[in-house]
Chain A
């Protein structure tokens, strides 16, 4: 059971790291700010979500596992909103 949970943790955190990696590559390589923003939010949302998911079985208590979800949700909220705000500022700047 422990081995299974460890395998799950490793798989989820590796997948999360992969999303962070691709997000960073996108941030560096994509041609314009809007697509770069797209790459960045993918890393935030999926990457961090998978890392949090992988860390959950390793949390000390149910409460700290729940806190990991809350952290992920807060980052989701702020990254989605700031992406909207930056996108809006970009569009306004272009006109």
Chain B
């Protein structure tokens, strides 16, 4: 007899409970905490589904970075509340929203219940493709991401940059080109500085390790990049570093480096290996690692810029 099915059922019930609590939470901060817990529990679900790569991403992004973004957003919303008059949606509007959400949820449930047996899947094809050009990589997930569906992976990174541009574009004309406001109050607490000083070097090492090991084991550029981003954020929270000016050349280069290198390599593939985004099989592994290194840089630069927010006018300017 195995206990695992019972643990799985417990996990599923817990996730639904946390999800309901997140929606019903009395205030914004509590809802964000609920959402972070929800993300961490989802990471466990991915582990149970034997998908450690997804679990790592979920823990780093769903549990970590999204939490910071939402808390920051919540703070700014709280500050806005005092200025703007409170507009409460009416009851019909709330009911309509609820009905629409329920419709979408039941459509998703219906689609899952009506899946043909066996469900249609691109997995075998992807696995076969992964043993082609990305064969040098021991981790099939990275091989699929970087070789079988490389175009999607590149577009995902472009979406990240578009998000940063979106955040920057809400700055005022006067503040444009300046730096985003500092993360925390003027004088950070000593424990915060201590944590940042001790954790950042270790975290950077682990981030690079996760990226490097991603070729052969669970890991990769996104997971490693999210970790590096977290380390940059923690040093900015401790005020050991300040957010950079948004017109800094190095920052903009770092942001576009990943997709740019990816695209150039993809175009080169057209001439060298015969098709767009194809790699010569003998060189696939070094090329993929080369692209991933630049994507790591872009992700590590983009996520903290999303959290830092738009540039603001500073008193000293």
Contacts and interface: CB of A to CB of B under 8 A. Distances in A.
A74 B195 contact: no
B191 A77 contact: no
B290 interface: no
A74 B199 CA distance: 8
B192 interface: yes
Nearest to A85: B191
A74 B198 CA distance: 10
A6 interface: no
Nearest to A81: B195
Contacts of A82: 195
B202 interface: yes
A28 to B, nearest CB: 16
A78 B198 CA distance: 10
A58 interface: no
Interface string A54-95: 000000000000000000001001100110110010000000
A6 B202 CA distance: 32
Contacts, number: 19
A68 B287 CA distance: 33
Contacts of B189: 84-85, 88
B198 A77 contact: yes
A81 B202 contact: no
B195 A78 contact: yes
B194 A74 contact: no
Contacts of A88: 189, 191
Contacts of B194: 81
Interface residues of A, number: 8
A84 B191 contact: yes
Interface string A7-23: 00000000000000000
Interface residues of B, number: 8
Contacts of B199: 74, 77-78
Nearest to B192: A85
A84 B198 CA distance: 15
A74 B191 CA distance: 15
Contacts of A84: 189, 191
B218 to A, nearest CB: 14
B32 to A, nearest CB: 16
A77 B206 CA distance: 15
B27 to A, nearest CB: 15
A84 B189 CA distance: 9
A80 B195 CA distance: 9
A45 to B, nearest CB: 15
Interface in B163-209: 189, 191-192, 194-195, 198-199, 202
Nearest to A92: B189
A37 B128 CA distance: 51
Nearest to B198: A77
Nearest to B196: A81
A85 B189 CA distance: 7
A7 B291 CA distance: 48
Contacts of A74: 199, 202
19 contacts: A74-B199, A74-B202, A77-B195, A77-B198, A77-B199, A78-B195, A78-B199, A81-B191, A81-B192, A81-B194, A81-B195, A82-B195, A84-B189, A84-B191, A85-B189, A85-B191, A85-B192, A88-B189, A88-B191
Given A81-B191, A85-B189, 11 more contacts: A74-B202, A77-B199, A78-B195, A78-B199, A81-B194, A84-B189, A84-B191, A85-B191, A85-B192, A88-B189, A88-B191
The list of the 5 closest CB pairs from A to B, nearest first, reads A84-B191, A81-B195, A81-B191, A88-B189, A85-B191
